[in-house]
Amino acid sequence: MKLTNYYLPTLKEAPKDADIISAKLMIRAGLIRKTASGIYEWLPLGMKILKKIENIIREEFNKAGCLEVWLPVIQPADLWQQSTRWDYYGKELLRIKDRKGADFCIAPTAEEVITDLVKKDVSSYKQLPVCLYQFGTKFRDEIRPRFGVMRAREFYMADAYSFSATDESANEWYQKMYEAYMRIFKRCGFAFRPVEADTGAIGGNFSHEFMVLAQAGEDEIATCDCGYTSNTEKTEIKAPDQAVYTDADLKPVQEVNTPNMHTVEDLAKFLKVPAEKCIKMMVYKADEKPVIVLMRGTDELNEIKLKKYLNANVLEKATPEFYEAQTQSPVGFAGPVGFKQKFANTKLLADNYVKTIFNGVCGACKADTHLINVTPGRDFTPDAYADFKLAATGDLCPKCGKPFNFMRGIEVGHIFKLGTKYSASMGANFLDENQKTKPIIMGCYGIGVSRVLAAAIEQSHDDFGIIWPSPISPFDLELIALDSEGEVKQKADEIYEQLTARGLDILYDDRDERPGVKFKDADLIGVPYRVVIGRKLLPEGKVEFKIRGQKDAQILTFAELDAKLKELFTK
C-alpha cells in the first residue's frame, strides 16, 4: 500500500479526553476517531488490524468445530422477557421502540437470540452438539465509558454459543473453547492468564476470564503458586482462625460518646484502637429486602460475593434514608448488639474475619455513640458467617493456605458454562434417546475484538508509539523512500513491487515529506520491520533495516536484506 494512496491521518498530539496510552496512540496513529462518548469510527488502518485479530479468532473457532452465523443487533424485548433479563439487565441495556411502539433492545450479548434460533430447529439429541458463533457490534450503555475502545459503549465482539445434550458434552465444549482461547491469545502475542471469574449478568455455573497482564488493566487478579488464579471479583479466601481468648480476657460492653465519628479511621484514632477491631455495619437492599453485613473496619466488602451468596437479582447499597429506616440509627452508628431482637426478620450476616475480633468496637444504634468491648458470640450472633471480603494483600489461598500475589489485567475474553439457565426459561428443549424432554445444556464464549486491539497496545508500546506483535501488525513491513523522486524513489518503487509480488504486505511511505516526519509516523504506527532507502547508502548498494522497538538499525546489502526477509517471512 502506497501511503500516497492511503487514508492515514496521523496526529502529533492526542486529544485531551484520551485517558489511557492505547487510546492516545490509537487516535494519533489514525486507527480510530471519537464520534460520541464510548462510540468510535474505525479508519482503514484500525480496520485492517481488527480484521487480522478477527481472522485469528475465526481460524481457531473453526478449528474447534464452531460454525459462523450472523445475528441481529436489534432484538425484540419478547425474547429478553422470556429469559427475565429485560427486568434485570439494568441500564446497560439500551431499549428502543419501533414505529408501532413495540419494544426492542440493542444487543449487549446474544444468548436470547441464539437460544431462540436453536429452539426453532433443534428437537432431537441427534442434532446436538452444535456450536455457533458470530462477529458483530454490541452496545452496552456503560455507566462510565472510558479508556477509548477498551470500555466503549459500542464495540466489536466475537461470541460463540455451544448447545449440548449431556453435561459431559457441555464440559467438553467448555474445554475445547478454553483451549481455542489459549491459542488465540498466544497467537496475538500476549502475556496473559486464564483466571476463574464471576458469571455476572450472563449467569451460569462456572467461568474463566482471559486477562492480558497490563498495569492499565481495570481488573485485579489474585494468583497463588499452587495454580489458583482468579479475578478478585470472585477470589475465595481461606477462612481465618477464630480469635483465641479466655473469659477473663473479655471486658464488659460499655457505651462511649463518639461525636461526629463517621469513618472507621476517625473512630479508631479517637478511641485509640486498631481499625481492624472496629466492626462496620453495611446495609444493603437485595431484591427490595434489607440485608446487613458486618465487616472488619479494614476490610472491603465484595458485592459480587454477597449477591451470589444471596442469589439476588438486584443488589444495591442502602441510601441514607433506607439505612436509617432499617436500623433506626443515624448513618454510621448502627451496630449488631441487640439488633436481632429489634429486627428479627432482617438478615444479619457477617464476614468470616469478624470472628477474629474480641473486645471490639461497633455502633450503638444511636447518634454519636459506639459500644466498646464487643465480642461476637457473647454480645451478638449473626444469622451466618461467610466469605464476603474483597481479597487483599495478606489474604490466604483457600486451596493451599499460602498468601496471594496480586497483578492487574485487561479482560479480553470470557467463557461461561451456562447450563440450562436460558434453555429452561426459553423452552429450548430436545428429546433424548429415551424420548424424554430435556433442556439443552449451553455454554457461551465472548472475545472483545476491539478491546484485544487496545490491550495489545497497552502491552506493547514505547515513548514513540505502538510496537505491533507481528501476527496482528497491520503490515508486514514499512518501506520508506527518503526522496520522493530520482534514483532513491526509483529503487524504492522497484523493491516495493518485488516484495509485494512475493506476497508481503508493505506499507510504502512514498510521500513528499521530510525524513523526520516519515520516521516519526513509522514509529507511531508501529509496523515491526522498517526498510529505509536513502541517498547516502544507495550508491553503496545498501539499505537501512530496523526492528521497531530496538535501538539500532542494521545496514544491509540488497542481498542481505533479501535473505533477512526470507528468514522472517517464510511461513
Rounded to the nearest 10 degrees, what angle do helices 449-459 and 44-64 cross at?
110
Which residues in 231-250 contact ligand ATP (CB under 6 A)?
Answer: none
Using rule CB under 6 A, residue 307 touches ligand ATP: no
Using rule CB under 6 A, residue 85 touches ligand ATP: no
> How many residues belong to the site for ligand ATP (CB under 6 A)?
17
CB of 445 to ligand ATP, least distance (A): 9
Using rule CB under 6 A, residue 509 touches ligand ATP: no
State which residue, 93 or 157, has the beta carbon closest to ligand ATP.
157
Using rule CB under 6 A, residue 110 touches ligand ATP: no
CB of 109 to ligand ATP, least distance (A): 6
Among 448, 465, 474, 528, binds ligand ATP (CB under 6 A): 448
Using rule CB under 6 A, residue 151 touches ligand ATP: yes
CB of 324 to ligand ATP, least distance (A): 33
DSSP line for 343-395? -TTSEEEEEGGGGG-SSEEEE-SSTTEEEEEE-BTTTB--SEEE--BPP-TT-
State which residue, 139 or 333, has the beta carbon closest to ligand ATP.
139
Among 443, 446, 474, 528, binds ligand ATP (CB under 6 A): 446
Type of residue numbered 89: Y
State which residue, 148 or 376, has the beta carbon closest to ligand ATP.
148
Using rule CB under 6 A, residue 142 touches ligand ATP: yes
Residue 507 CB neighbours (<10 A): 25
Cell of 486: 530520482
Nearest to 459, CA basis, from 15, 13, 21? 21
Match 452465523 to its residue by C-alpha cell: 69
CB of 204 to ligand ATP, least distance (A): 11
Using rule CB under 6 A, residue 157 touches ligand ATP: yes
**CB within 8 A of 140, min separation 6: which ones?**
92, 93, 94, 108, 153, 155
Helix (H) or strand (E) holding 513: none
Using rule CB under 6 A, residue 140 touches ligand ATP: yes
Helix (H) or strand (E) holding 284: strand 279-286
Q: Binding marks (x or -) toward ligand ATP, 183..222, rule CB under 6 A?
A: -----------------x-x--------------------
State which residue, 240 or 469, has the beta carbon closest to ligand ATP.
469
* Phi/psi of residue 333, nearest 5 degrees: -120, 10
Using rule CB under 6 A, residue 155 touches ligand ATP: yes
State which residue, 159 or 523, has the beta carbon closest to ligand ATP.
159
CB of 418 to ligand ATP, least distance (A): 12
CA 546/CA 557 separation, integer angstroms: 14
CB of 534 to ligand ATP, least distance (A): 42
CB 164 within 8 A of CB 128: yes
3-state class of 32 per DSSP?
Answer: strand
Among 60, 111, 411, 509, binds ligand ATP (CB under 6 A): 411
CB of 448 to ligand ATP, least distance (A): 2
Among 264, 412, 442, 506, binds ligand ATP (CB under 6 A): 412
Measure Cα distances from 380 to 337, 357, 398, 548 in Å: 5, 12, 27, 65
CB 438 within 8 A of CB 165: yes
**Residue 98 zone, left/alpha/beta (φ > 0; ψ -120 to 50; rest):** beta
**CB within 8 A of 154, min separation 6: which ones?**
38, 39, 40, 137, 138, 139
Using rule CB under 6 A, residue 451 touches ligand ATP: yes
CB of 501 to ligand ATP, least distance (A): 38
Judging by DSSP bridges, how do beta strands 347-351 and 289-296 pair with one another?
A: parallel
By beta carbon distance, the residue nearest ligand ATP is: 448
User: Contact residues for ligand ATP (CB under 6 A)?
Assistant: 109, 140, 142, 151-152, 155, 157, 200, 202, 411-414, 446, 448, 450-451
